[in-house]
Amino acid sequence: MTAIVLDGKALAKQIEIELAERVKKLKNKPILATILVGDDPASATYVKMKGNACQRVGMESQKVILPESTTTEQLLAEIDKLNNNSNVHGILLQHPVPKQIDERACFDRISLAKDVDGVTTHGFGRMAMGEFAYGSATPAGIMKLLDHYKIPIKGKRAVIVGRSPILGKPMALMLMNRHATVTVCHSRTENLAEVVKEGDIVVGAVGRPEFIKGDWIKVGAVVIDAGYHPGGIGDIELKAVIDKCSAYTPVPGGVGPMTIATLIMQTVEAAEKVEGK
């Protein structure tokens, strides 16, 4: 079986070209504000990548860098400033924040209109009910990838391994809203291998390197690996499924580029809404 490679890197480039044209039509450049608390090198890299993507489409990025010692109250005050800044169209609080900060309280302080990363409980609730909200960027990016490659979703059995509030849970609801039958499982699920074998679509979002083994996945499944770990491996033992799956996301170059492209796209949409476009 020759599997379709769900090339997120190529699709992200195509999306950026389209976004650059949309940005040119706006009176004011969209601005994405990124907040980085502390000095985690991986987080700093992610923020830099998002800033570079803004630059490529003609947007601006506003960086807010706060010390490791920042309190919840101080971070909330910074978010309030961005909420009240009419020039800022999107706000991204880079996860994770230092342990003394109430991350959920800070996510939920972001204005719904500027929640372009889809992290607020209000936005999650609206999305779950089929109402408009900016989707959590990684699962929303996965949905765009599935649509681009015309992967059937309606009526399919989808199995998601992972239940995080910004990936596993919103992924489940997005697929359910598109008429998939969805099972959400995790590292403590009994008979996990047998559950995964039921999936026509399998999403690895558990955050452990190659936790999902190749022999857990049935022939012809669509394999979405949302993990990324040192050495360029994901949450799924991809090398063991490439010859038997119908489609898969490579690691790297699959889900990751789509996360950033979706974040940028949703910021452009927020700017268009402000200008009534």
Q: DSSP string spanning the chain? A: --PEE--HHHHHHHHHHHHHHHHHTSSS--EEEEEEES--HHHHHHHHHHHHHHHHHT-EEEEEEE-TT--HHHHHHHHHHHHT-TT--EEEEPSPPPTTS-HHHHHHHS-GGG-TT--SHHHHHHHHTT---PPPHHHHHHHHHHHHTT---TT-EEEEE---TTTHHHHHHHHHHTT-EEEEE-TT-TTHHHHHTT-SEEEE-SSSTT-B-GGGSPTT-EEEE---BTTTB-SB-GGGTTTT-SEE--TTTSHHHHHHHHHHHHHHHHHHHHTT-
pLDDT of residue 154: 98
pLDDT at 277 over 80: no
Tens of pLDDT, residues 94-115: 999 999 999 999 999 999 999 9
- Which residue in 7, 50, 225, 266 is the catalytic one? 50
Q: Does the annotation flag 125 for ligand binding?
A: no
Residue 50: active-site member: yes
Average confidence score pLDDT of the chain: 96
Q: Does the annotation flag 130 for ligand binding?
A: no
**Mean of the pLDDT values across residues 108-123?**
97
- Which residue in 7, 94, 114, 225 is the catalytic one? 94
**Both structure tokens of 71:** 């309190």
Full-model pTM: 0.95
**Mean of the pLDDT values across residues 146-166?**
97
* Neighbouring C-beta atoms of residue 189, cutoff 10 Å: 16
Which residue ranges form the domains of the chain, and what is each CATH number? 28-114 (3.40.50.10860), 137-256 (3.40.50.720)
pLDDT at 1 over 80: no
pLDDT of residue 102: 98
Tens of pLDDT, residues 30-54: 999 999 999 888 899 999 999 999 9
**Mean of the pLDDT values across residues 129-155?**
97
**Cis? peptide before 230, omega within 30° of 0:** no
pLDDT of residue 183: 98
pLDDT at 177 over 90: yes
Tens of pLDDT, residues 191-230: 999 999 999 999 999 999 999 999 999 999 999 999 999 8
**Mean of the pLDDT values across residues 169-184?**
97
**Mean of the pLDDT values across residues 238-246?**
96
Tens of pLDDT, residues 2-22: 999 999 999 999 999 999 999
The proportion of the chain whose per-residue pLDDT surpasses 70, expressed as a percent, equals 100
pLDDT at 90 over 90: yes
Q: Does the annotation flag 162 for ligand binding?
A: yes
- Which residue in 117, 200, 225, 235 is the catalytic one? 117
Residue 117: active-site member: yes
pLDDT of residue 187: 85
Tens of pLDDT, residues 62-78: 999 999 999 999 999 99
